Amino acid sequence: MQNLLEIQKQLLPDLMDVLKKRYMILHQIMLEEVIGRRSLALSLNMTERVLRAETDLLKAQGLIEIENVGMRISDAGRQLLEQMKPIVKELLGLAEMEKKIRSAYGLRKVIVVPGDCESSATAKRELGRAGAKALLGVIGENDVVAVTGGSTLAEMGQQLTPPSAPIRGSWFVPARGGLGESLEIQANTIASGMAKRVGAEYRLLHVPDLLGKEAYESLVHDHNIQEIVSLIRRARIVVHGIGDAMEMARRRKLEPKMVEELQREGAIAESFGYYFDETGAVVHKMLTLGLRLEDIKSTETVIGVAGGRSKAKAIHAVLKFGHEDILVTDEAAAEEIVEAL
């Protein structure tokens, strides 16, 4: 297929442009579920006149349905999009980036979605959708899945579609305590929402992510806390986001002295409550309940979901740590990582 695409790019470059344009129109309609022509034109940076001609053709082919409330994708359109995925990945160079990243870090699987989720809500939804699909591909009955917080994981939870049959006997749990931010991006909220979508059970950890020594000593001996922490540490699957070290220090409201120490130690990434330098070495850990580093190392499947050009160095650092199995990222971050390689 690669050779055929290269030939078509040389002999029929216009055809490739048309294919990509129509794919993006179909894909955007699918993500929005129902969308008006004007809104679609704005999101795709396309004139309404050009878009009208394209959508009329797609309607004639039975790929979309146009109603008073807007346009929606048809079953045939969904099926075509799924069939086009490998072709579009080759056209955009995503498949080659996936291969390079997978090989460089020894990962089981890499998924790269188009766009930059820092500048595009559509790309972020697609990142969440790809993360949800990756999780559904590995989860089974009687599993324990630990998830972290953050806006990317929250989007992934929203995109998680119910499977044909409930995943019985499985539990979703927060990987760590809460950061005291918006309820929607707390690990507890995400874990419970994911569990409800797939028909699983869930347990919550009602403690702050960052604890003082006295608070930690008090909570660690509490029977109820011990029970949920024991379940968290038995997780077979961990799904986590990856953050910039300084941004996460700000969100955790760390003291200036601690921030300076992280900078001196070369911290560029944060995940699971641990801070990593560019070599993947842990330079600092927070005193917190939940998953420990040794739990991550023994977990069967670790899925990292993160995107955005500014996150590339942080993603690289966590991948260098060497305990990821599946990476779901976007085109912008992947380009930076591959260029650095």
Residue 309 has pLDDT above 90, yes or no: yes
pLDDT in tens, 40-99: 888 888 898 999 999 999 999 999 999 888 999 999 999 998 888 888 887 778 889 999
Q: Which residues contact 70 (CB under 8 A, 6 or more apart)?
A: 34, 35, 36, 37, 39
Query: How much is the pLDDT for 191?
Result: 94
Query: How much is the pLDDT for 178?
Result: 67
Strand partners, 274: 271, 285
Query: How much is the pLDDT for 295?
Result: 87
What residue ranges in 279-320 does DSSP mark as E strands? 282-285, 301-305
Give the closest residue to 122 by CA, choosing from 197, 40, 22.
Answer: 40
Structural domains of the chain in order of their starting residue, each with its CATH number: 2-91 (1.10.10.10), 93-340 (3.40.50.1360)
Strand partners, 66: 71
Range 312-338 average pLDDT: 94
| Coil vs helix vs strand at 313 | helix
pLDDT band at 279 (very low <50, low <70, confident <90, very high): very high
> What's the distance, Cα to Cα, between the start and end of the chain in Å?
26
Whole-number Å distance between alpha carbons of 255 and 49:
55
Largest CA distance in the chain: 71
Query: How much is the pLDDT for 292?
Result: 83
Residue 306 has pLDDT above 90, yes or no: yes
Taking the model in full, what pTM does it have? 0.83
Amino acid code (one letter) for 5? L
Residue 2 has pLDDT above 60, yes or no: no
33: left (phi over 0), alpha (psi -120 to 50) or beta: left
Bridging pattern class, strands 269-271 and 274-276: antiparallel
Strand partners, 240: 304
Q: What token pair was written down for 121?
A: 């809500």
Range 143-155 average pLDDT: 93
Length of the chain: 341
- Assess contact for 229 and 173: CB atoms under 8 A: no
Whole-number Å distance between alpha carbons of 130 and 94:
14
Query: How much is the pLDDT for 163?
Result: 79
Residue 12 has pLDDT above 70, yes or no: no
pLDDT in tens, 31-40: 888 899 898 8
